[in-house]
Amino acid sequence: MPLKFPQPPLGAATDVAVFHCPFIIDAPTAGELRVRQNVKVVVSRDGRIQAIDPNHEADKSTTANKTCVIVPGFVDCHVHAPQYKQLGTKTDVPLMEWLQKYTFPAEAAFASTAHASAVYPRLICRLLRNGTTTALYFASNHLAASLILAETCAKYGQRALVGKTCSDQLLPEDYVETTAGSLADTEVFVKSVYERHGRNGLVMPVVTPRFVPTCSLELLQGLGEIAEKYSCHIQTHAAESVDQVALVRSQHPELARDIAILASCKLLTSKTVLAHCTHLHDSEARTMAQTGAAIASCPYSNMLFSRAVLPVNRFRSLGVKIGLGTDIAGGHSASMVDSVRMAGLVSRIDGFLPRWDRSTDPREESGVQPVGDEEVVDWKTAFYLSTRGGAQALGLEVGVFEVGMRWDAVMVDLTWDEDDSADDTPRENEEDVEMKFERWICSHGGEQGVKKVWVDGKTVFARE
């Protein structure tokens, strides 16, 4: 079956686009699945939903056939773009050793713009055909390659937040930056992306210190100044693993913890997304909630490298915004559906979940406590985290089908075996569709089920 990735000009230059959908499905809030039948959706030329008319009599030409539904595009809140060729391999050692042994050498190869130009289109097309309409990317330390990533996202029509990664210590000699060079290149990157795509364009720049251990205090402070000057998004890693937490404490004995260090450098804002946070204290989660900072939960790599589970429900109850991420290549899959499944699975594992802040609750003796039912993440909540939750973490008007939101959407074929495919009888009710969608999410959903993808109302992928 041929695959199509239309390139600019994307879609038709009409004033509005009209989508006739047998069913649209979204998750406006955690734990809620909304199914609407026979829906006419009108989308403006700039990609915003102008009208949603349920129970509408469709004309002869429908956007989706009987076996398909339309859902919001997936929002991947944590992707390491230059690690794409590592996907599914080389996760046999602890985090800090993994970085030195495998990852830094792989990322150093992006000093070659030819290498970047070869790898990044493959990554972006892979994500689009998995239904990922928005991605928050770590690039490499290289300015030129990072700009190639931003332009490649724009070329293929993916909504993207891209950061040139910054590190001035504890990296191999052929990959480490100088402090001054990292700051200068970051400012050039931010200005270049804004000049090319506007302040609220499809592609946005992100100030990106890799994480505290590989950044001097001078670099962190300088990056905080740049983020403040240009009102940028910020991303980094925090409280990720036992070895990383211990290293930060040894480097910064006074502040000791990621959250305190980032806050002191103006890097904890309402536009900050922190990956992992599995070893975060409750008091730190409250600080994040107060500032509006968000967490990118990466359930697969959290188990691999953190050997811990993010307490999603607990931190959400404290007011923290949370989205999901694949964490290519710390995670094994490019599919957000796999992250949805894993989020539900790991929430049920006893003994891995940090639960209480030692400074406020004397019950925390060992650092972890058994998992209670209140921490279980059901599949509807996990789907919400992969769509609307991720969009809220990034401050974007996507992830749910409401008037005024942008039409970033995915057509999903719910067929799951030959008998199901052969059944051409009309669906009888929304309950039946919800069950079939649950089966797709929890059992067989993946790349082959994605038939069409739109960003801002324009087709960016089609399987014909």
Closest CA to 327 of 103, 171, 54: 103
Residues 168 and 183 in one domain: yes
Number of structural domains (the chain) is 2
Domain range for residue 287? Answer: 74-394
In sequence order, the 6+-apart residues with CB closer than 8 A to the CB of 89 are 329
pLDDT per residue of the chain (464 residues) written in tens, 0 to 9: 577 777 654 444 456 899 999 999 999 999 999 999 999 999 999 999 999 998 776 555 567 777 899 999 999 999 999 999 999 898 888 888 888 999 999 999 999 999 999 999 999 999 999 999 999 999 999 999 999 999 999 999 999 999 999 999 999 999 999 999 999 999 999 999 999 999 999 999 999 999 999 999 999 999 999 999 999 999 999 999 888 999 999 999 999 999 999 999 999 999 999 999 999 999 999 999 999 999 999 999 998 888 888 999 999 999 999 999 999 999 999 999 999 999 999 998 865 555 444 444 433 433 444 456 788 999 999 999 999 999 999 999 999 999 999 999 999 999 866 565 555 544 557 778 999 999 999 987 778 899 999 999 999 999 97
Measure the CA–CA gap between 442 and 99, rounded to whole angstroms: 32
pTM: 0.93
DSSP secondary structure string for all residues of 157-216: T-EEEEE-EE--SSS-TTTPPPHHHHHHHHHHHHHHHHHHH-TTSSEEEEEEE--GGGS-
Q: What is the CATH number of the domain that holds 302?
A: 3.20.20.140
Tell me if residue 86 falls in helix, strand or coil: helix
Residues 336 and 414 in one domain: no
Residues 221 and 307 in one domain: yes
Measure the CA–CA gap between 428 and 389, rounded to whole angstroms: 30
Closest CA to 212 of 247, 164, 243: 247
Report the alpha-carbon angle 431-436-440, nearest 5: 145
Report the alpha-carbon angle 239-377-138, nearest 5: 40
Residue ending a domain, choose from 378, 394, 410: 394
Residues 316 and 304 in one domain: yes
Residues 67 and 83 in one domain: no
Report the alpha-carbon angle 310-315-316, nearest 5: 115
Residues 119 and 200 in one domain: yes
Q: What is the CATH number of the domain that holds 439?
A: 2.30.40.10
Closest CA to 71 of 325, 340, 299: 340
